Amino acid sequence: MIRSAWAGGVLAAALLAVTAAACTGAGTRESGNGGNGTRTPPPGGKSAEAQDPQTTRQTLSWKACPPPTPAEGGSSGRAPGPDWECATLHAPLDYAKPRSSTNSIDIALIRAKATDRSHRIGSLVFNFGGPGGSGITTLPAFADDYQKLRTRYDLVSFDPRGVGRSSGVTCLDDRQLDAYYAADAAPATPNQQKALVERVTAYAAGCERNSGKVLPYVGTENAARDMDLMREVLGDAKLHYFGVSYGTELGGVYAHLFPDKVGRALFDGVVDPSADPVQSALAQAKGFELALTNYMDACTRTSDNCPTEPQISALLKRLGDKPVPGGAGRDLTRSLATSGIAQSLYSKDFWDYLTEGIEDAENGDGRLLLSLGDAMNGRGQDGRYSTLQSSLNAITCADFAQRYTAAEIVQRVPEFRKASPVFGEFMAWSLTQCTGWPVKGVWQTPDVSAKGSAPVLVVGNTGDPATPYGGAKHMAQELGPGVAVELTYRGEGHGAYDSGNACVKGAVDAYLLDGTVPEPDKICS
């Protein structure tokens, strides 16, 4: 998803469990710059071709997977089934010093082997976005959607550097994070704005204190180099890739660095690589506003009990003045409710929860919206937080050089409020996320130009709130002539392949399994 705000798109499977428990229990970036952005050399100064032989010759030791850790969102304590095995890839922390014995980072991998071994193509590597999403937890959760792909591919995913089991970034403890996410994230007065900046600065100091060693090295270009190392160690001549949300940006950067190593690649829920953080946040505000409108229109066709936007805005204002109980001694605040509403717009499957949650909150019961907000923030039912949001911040701030002051944001708030009365101010103030960050970013926008790459299938969803539809066209343009093949899905929710649309799934499967490229500008409804 877009990195200037919410990163809940990778949590759909976990959210179903969280919201079900709440109902039954007691009582965001982006731009291949095409020459426009400021560029710096890749981290470490090495050419994209210069993987160190000492690391590429390593042998992975695959074993039964342990239960996911709380840092990966593994609060259920259940290990993946017997089809899954896990291993650790040893990568240079700093690619400028690949042979240093003290310069290494362990990347956690997971895979399920192809079922038709005689027709196996290779590995299909997944990144589900965030940035900050754990592939170790997400791939097994969505595995049923990929059974056809598994016939000819080993399904592989990973916790990127700085995420989950791969030296996941931590900033505050669980109790401190409860307070941090409950605090007002859309300040109106100078004193409130000062308090927000102080909170964000203290958060950044906590990240440096607890994870300072890895912060300079968690950026997307290093993650792309890790994927190329992964490709070699897995024994694949080309990287076959399935990128969702931020995973499309990571895939674009990989294609730029290693165009001759791109195999069959899907970009789904596409990040716009031509937008700076302000443009990304504004586009996302508009995207969530569109999704909210689509939800309300659909609701009124089937129910008489549907919220209106003025009603939602009024509820949020009341929660800002007086939170309502959310269960277990916690309150539903305006910030948590706004995150919960946004989380419910990632999939039509959650729309009924949104209707119920808003009605409950108006009647003084904040449990359901609080559960939705917790899912957005990576909080498990046990009160433990994953590294999702802290990793998102760390990766974003290692990538982007922009740092915005409160005064600059105040000037932009009216534009954001116009884009979305519900989400606009929150999106504007999310631009403080790198305030006080101890590491400088390396780009204004990422370069994803990939001359000479194999075709990349780029799928845009017209109703996507987190990665608005226009991002797919911009990604196609930035990849360069003859690289992208565009497909449009006229639907709702974040991404397209997991929507259940047979047209999208058929086109993607035909490309990944058989190499059949869809006709240009194909449309699925």
pLDDT in tens, 103-161: 999 999 999 999 999 999 999 999 999 999 999 999 999 999 999 999 999 999 999 99
Task: For residue 189, count other CB atoms closer than 10 A to its CB.
Answer: 8
- The C-alpha atoms of residue 295 and residue 347 are separated, in whole angstroms, by 10
Whether the bond between 131 and the residue before it is cis, its omega within 30 degrees of 0, is yes
- The C-alpha atoms of residue 138 and residue 100 are separated, in whole angstroms, by 33
- Angle subtended at Cα 132 by Cα 131 and Cα 133, rounded to the nearest 5 degrees: 105
> Contact 329/442 with Cβ under 8 angstroms?
no
- The C-alpha atoms of residue 322 and residue 133 are separated, in whole angstroms, by 33
Tokens of 182: 């409950």
- The C-alpha atoms of residue 318 and residue 509 are separated, in whole angstroms, by 48
- The C-alpha atoms of residue 188 and residue 409 are separated, in whole angstroms, by 12
Mean pLDDT by 10 residues, the chain (525 residues): 47 41 38 30 41 80 95 83 96 89 92 98 97 96 96 98 98 98 96 97 98 98 98 98 98 98 98 97 97 97 94 98 97 98 96 97 98 96 96 98 97 98 98 97 98 98 96 98 97 95 98 96 95
pLDDT in tens, 203-214: 999 999 999 999
- The C-alpha atoms of residue 208 and residue 173 are separated, in whole angstroms, by 14
What is the pLDDT, as a whole number, of residue 47? 40
- Angle subtended at Cα 336 by Cα 333 and Cα 340, rounded to the nearest 5 degrees: 135
- For residue 473, how many C-alpha atoms fall within 13 Å in the half-sphere facing its CB? 8
Strand partners of residue 518: none
Burial (CB < 10 A; 0-12, 13-18, 19+), residue 57, is: exposed
> Contact 193/200 with Cβ under 8 angstroms?
no
> Contact 368/23 with Cβ under 8 angstroms?
yes
- The C-alpha atoms of residue 64 and residue 79 are separated, in whole angstroms, by 9
CA max distance for the chain? 66
What is the pLDDT, as a whole number, of residue 57? 86
What is the pLDDT, as a whole number, of residue 100? 73
The amino acid at residue 45 is: G
Q: Please give the helix or strand (H or E) that residue 414 lies within, else none.
A: helix 406-419
> Contact 107/166 with Cβ under 8 angstroms?
yes
> Considering just the CA atoms, what is the radius of gyration of the chain in Å?
22
Contacts of 499 (CB under 8 A, 6+ apart): 461, 489, 491, 492, 493
What is the pLDDT, as a whole number, of residue 373? 97
